[in-house]
Amino acid sequence: MQEKQSTPVSRFVRACLRRPVDRTPVWFLRQAGRYMPEYMAVRRHHTLLEICRRPELAAEVTITAAEKLGVDAAIIFADLLLPFTPMGLDFEFQAGEGPVIHHPIRTADDVDRLRTDRAEELSYVAEAIEKVCTHFRVRGGADSADTLGIIGFCGAPFTLASYMIEGGGSRNYIETKTLMYRQLAVWQRLLDKLVTVLSAFARQQVEAGADVIQIFDSWSGALSIEDYREFVLPVTKSLVREVQSYGVPIIYFGVDTASLLPSMRETGADVLGLDWRTPLDHAWRNLDYACAVQGNLDPITLFAEPELLRKRVHHILHQAAGRPGHIFNLGHGIVPGTPVENVQAVVKFVREYNSREHVP
């Protein structure tokens, strides 16, 4: 991999590359979201898509969340489905229902109609990243361990294809798997088109200053190992390799992936996201420590009393055993209703554990 910075200094990027750090970096999936009053204040005046598409708003909510929590990385505020618009697929977010795609992809013709030549229409995400970088780099300088990591992101081919085919979220992925099993050429063409658009999108984000790209394969846990390896791994590997060639580490994340992790590792991603159903020490050992790991507190633990929360946070850090290459995070996103002070407490618990460890 050609690295953007030959000696990364921020503890977040160093941890992604399994280099030693002064303390474990911490950030949260969905750290800017509906649990946070400052986000809801912006959200009252703007739709989710407006916030995503207006760089000054996206940058504001990204920065506010990172500063309020005191985390080591800021993930750009955007959404997985944004690339659907330049591909010619309309969608909307319906209150309480999540995303709805009005004309799902089901046939070879549907796939043929998808466009791959308009990724530059997503440049508003890169613009938001530039604003976030300017804010943090001007304030904090770019040469200390405390420099915030800026995370760009995109969906993985399988997870995005599943939204396109199902028309929204799904429980059993019947339409997706039927197309995958019965129309293999169509499936492959769809995934190839997604890779073309996603790699162009990720490239814009890296050029704008993203230090790391996280690839969300949130729903890959719906696949058996055989199906993952046959229908998903090769194309995901090509996306990971392509984005790594832009000079940044890749975090590859999925949910319910305990049995898939060794196969997910074959994508060549630098970091794998772990959900909370997999004990971190088992998972990492199973991966032969061949990549970094991110995780893996159950996000619902954030509803517990601080003492239990502290115990769970410290247990995860104990499992990581100070080995270089652990990024503290949740196993999935923060949910609405989560007490903000408990999220802030996790940051404190991570720091206190580390300073205790370092006392001679």
CB of 289 to ligand CP3, least distance (A): 25
* Nearest to ligand CP3 of 8, 33 (CB atom): 33
CB of 359 to ligand CP3, least distance (A): 34
Here the tokens at position 334 are 């923060």
* Nearest to ligand CP3 of 28, 353 (CB atom): 28
> Does a cis peptide bond (omega within 30 degrees of 0) precede residue 329?
no
CB of 236 to ligand CP3, least distance (A): 15
Type and span of the H or E element at 286? helix 280-286
* Nearest to ligand CP3 of 34, 115 (CB atom): 34
Cβ-Cβ contacts under 8 Å for 99 (sequence gap 6 or more): 81, 91, 92, 93, 163, 168, 169
Which residue shows structure tokens 């949130």? 218
Q: Is 220 left (phi over 0), alpha (psi -120 to 50) or beta?
A: alpha
Give the footprint of ligand CP3 on this chain (CB under 6 A).
29-34, 43, 48, 75, 77, 79-81, 93, 98-99, 153, 169, 216, 218, 333
* Nearest to ligand CP3 of 218, 338 (CB atom): 218
Which residue shows structure tokens 């890779």? 195
Which residue shows structure tokens 């998903």? 232
CB of 168 to ligand CP3, least distance (A): 8
* Nearest to ligand CP3 of 19, 68 (CB atom): 68
Strand partners, 111: none
CB of 185 to ligand CP3, least distance (A): 27
* Nearest to ligand CP3 of 81, 190 (CB atom): 81
CB of 229 to ligand CP3, least distance (A): 22
CB of 243 to ligand CP3, least distance (A): 16
CB of 43 to ligand CP3, least distance (A): 6
Integer Rg of the chain from CA:
19
d(CA 59, CA 67) in angstroms, rounded, equals 12
- For residues 266-285, b (16+ Cβ closer than 10 Å) or e, as one string? ebebbbbbbbbebebbebbe
Here the tokens at position 299 are 């996000």
* Nearest to ligand CP3 of 111, 156 (CB atom): 156
Concatenate the DSSP letters of all residues of 237-275 into one string.
HHHHHHHHTTT--EEEE-SS-GGGHHHHHTTT-SEEE--
* Nearest to ligand CP3 of 216, 284 (CB atom): 216
d(CA 162, CA 78) in angstroms, rounded, equals 19
Residue nearest to ligand CP3 (CB): 218
